[in-house]
Amino acid sequence: MADEVGLQSDVTISGNARARTLHLKTLRKQWQIIALQIVATVALVGMYLEVVSTYVVGSIDHTMLFDSIELLIGDQLPLNDWFTGEGRSGLSRFFVPLAIGLLVGGIMALIAFQTPKTQQRIKLAFIITLITMLVGRLAFSWITGMLFSFDLRLPNSGELETLEWPLLMIMSILIMFVYLLPVIMGSRGIWGLSRRSIAWAIGFTLLFLGIHAILTFPLIKSQLGEYGGALATLESQVSAPTIGLFGLKLVTNEQLDLILIAVLILVFQESAFGVIRYLEYAFRLPESCKRDPEYVQQMDNMLNTHLKHTFGFLGLTGVATMVALGFHSVLLGLVSDSTGSQWAGQISESIELSLTYGLVISAVMFLSIMALFRFLIPWQRIWGLIYSLRNPTENIASSAEKEFIEI
């Protein structure tokens, strides 16, 4: 039996192309894996910019915090304005910090692939540099002062003032790190293949949205005084829809921002975690399977399908959410246009539909009708027909293989 089993040949593309296997060194350079990582990075940047433009810019952004600190200490902070974005307006305040956050996350991802000994040396060098920057000038001026004066004493006020610049620098960097935490941890998780970092990026974003929603609740916001007035809030009464599809107005600009944030979080999560899942699957395969042409083809099919579903199904999810939020207005418009009665117009102007309850009612109606369609429409036959139309050659081949012998 063992003599009949030959060595499995590697998968080659054609001619002088190199052999394709499922080893991690080769798989990580495959274009589908790189494409998923790029998609996850773009989704991360889009999610961050969308959250920042909706809730942070002009409300609680870092430049306003830096201005308050500078007014409090009566001096400029060590970080330059080109780094922090001070002096710019709107979303442009975050462009340079965003690029720096991506760079820091990429460096952290690169360090994660080094050997444990190299990582330990880098951490030790970072700690020594931080300590030197913090107390280096103080220790040097204090020790040299005692040596030249032959006097054992405590540091004087002039020597203690050398701590001001390092402490302000560390405080400024920590503030920027908090604002850029989703970008830094997200990029580290994408390119460093770290589930924990990806979870940190998503969790911190959701935590911020949750805390912001709690603080903007009218009862709590009134207790915050002028600080609560600076928070960007969404109107409790929904305005008339301005964005839609095929001439139907479905959602407002604020609702569209929330839908984009949710869809981008899903794209980032699915793409980033998907890369890790596929690489772990390939890593756990036996050595013979990593060189098997069928397994290599199976991996290609999974990656191609994942890329198609990322844009197809998640895009369809966003469109379905828009339809669900504006479904009541679509139904009332259809009734009004078909019957010409004033009943639909009177209901559409009711206070219940203009509040959050109207969105809940609309979503429940949409989900109920979709659940009803699940039992009325033969989806299996429809998908089978679509598959047969997309793959006619397979059907011809399968029908040709079926031969009946008459006895």
Do 216 and 339 belong together in one domain?
no
Instruction: Encode pLDDT of 70-110 as tens digits.
Output: 888 877 888 888 888 887 887 888 898 999 999 999 999 99
Do 336 and 195 belong together in one domain?
no
The DSSP-derived string for 179-211 is HTHHHHHHHHHHHHT-HHHHHHHHHHHHHHHHH
Classify residue 192: in a domain, yes or no. yes
Token readout for 53 is 């433009």
Out of 231, 252, 270, a domain closes at 231
> Quick check: 166 pLDDT over 80?
yes
Give bridge partners of residue 11 from the DSSP assignment: 20
Nearest CA to 198 out of 185, 207, 214 is that of 185
Nearest CA to 359 out of 236, 197, 260 is that of 236
Nearest CA to 13 out of 25, 26, 4 is that of 26
How far is 183 from 94, CA to CA, in rounded Å?
11
Number of domains in the chain: 2
Classify residue 110: in a domain, yes or no. yes
Do 224 and 369 belong together in one domain?
no
Instruction: Encode pLDDT of 109-139 as tens digits.
Output: 999 888 889 999 999 999 998 888 888 777 8
Please, which pLDDT band fits residue 2 given cuts at 50, 70 and 90?
very low
Confidence at residue 234, expressed as pLDDT on a 0 to 100 scale = 64
Classify residue 267: in a domain, yes or no. no
Nearest CA to 108 out of 227, 36, 191, 35 is that of 191
CA terminus-to-terminus distance, the chain: 38
Count CB neighbours of 334 within 10 A: 12
Nearest CA to 173 out of 211, 126, 137 is that of 126
Do 71 and 220 belong together in one domain?
yes
Domain membership of residue 360 as a residue range: 326-388
Do 344 and 214 belong together in one domain?
no
Do 226 and 85 belong together in one domain?
yes
Classify residue 381: in a domain, yes or no. yes
Confidence at residue 92, expressed as pLDDT on a 0 to 100 scale = 86
Confidence at residue 357, expressed as pLDDT on a 0 to 100 scale = 62
How far is 277 from 302, CA to CA, in rounded Å?
11
How far is 296 from 289, CA to CA, in rounded Å?
8
Out of 190, 213, 231, a domain closes at 231
Classify residue 293: in a domain, yes or no. no
The DSSP-derived string for 284-298 is HS-HHHHT-HHHHHH
Out of 180, 204, 231, a domain closes at 231
Nearest CA to 303 out of 283, 281, 286 is that of 281
Listed in sequence order, the residues at least 6 apart from 250 whose beta carbon sits closer than 8 Å to its beta carbon are 241, 243, 244, 322, 323, 325, 326, 329, 330
What DSSP designation does 76 have?
-
Instruction: Encode pLDDT of 345-354 as tens digits.
Output: 555 555 555 5
> Quick check: 18 pLDDT over 90?
no
* Helix residue ranges per DSSP H, 285-350: 287-290, 293-325, 327-339, 343-348
